[in-house]
Amino acid sequence: MTKIVGLTGGIGSGKSTVANYIASKGIPVYIADEEAKKIMERDDVKQKIQELFSESILNDDNSLNRKRIAEQVFNNPQKLKELNAIVHPEVHLHFQNWIKEHKNFPFIIKEVAILFETGGNKQCDKIILITAPEELRIQRATKRDNVDRATIVSRMKNQLPEAEKEFLSDYVVHNIDLQTTFKEVDVILKKLAKL
């Protein structure tokens, strides 16, 4: 039976970089955020999302205006919850089908930004947390997303505190220097191969 290994980390932690590194080793990696974006563009899902908002959340080309959605949900926990209630079950179903396609692997990686916040950790056999000092995470995220510090700090407030995530994780990687991080990840992958 293929084991599910959750890979998570807060904004700016470097979890996507680690996910890409793991994928480069030939290990199947499911990037939940990327799959969610694709699923959200499906007409049936898009219609349900539009019904949540009073103003149009579509661009001229009929694609979702993610910036407008983000502005609406990041300061409105109830709206965020309603949006997640539409998207998360669809992603879960997609993941179940994806895992069947990779059942010959001893384990797969499921990369999810808000793994604990959504209860996704309960479906994982093991969990890897990528973390870094808060100030470094803020610097990385402001540079990557081209937004101001206040925006990143506000997004961080929607995520579980790092200390709680560390407590709930099987493996914790402090991603300050990438070479050291990749070495730590290699050690973890060897352990996972023996599960």
Binding-site residue positions for ATP: 12-17
Q: CA 46 to CA 63: how far, in whole Å? A: 9
Instruction: Return the DSSP state at 5.
Output: E
Q: CA 43 to CA 191: how far, in whole Å? A: 42
Written as one string, the DSSP assignment of 91-150 is HHHHHHHHHHHTTTSSEEEEE-TTTTTTTGGGG-SEEEEEE--HHHHHHHHHHHHT--HH
Angle at which helix 134-145 crosses helix 149-156, to 10 degrees, equals 120
Q: Residue 164 corresponds to which tokens in the numbers above? A: 């709680």
| Cα separations in angstroms, 24 against 19, 29, 79, 109 | 9, 10, 37, 12
What are the binding residues? 12-17
| Cα separations in angstroms, 133 against 5, 14, 79, 86, 123 | 23, 11, 30, 33, 28
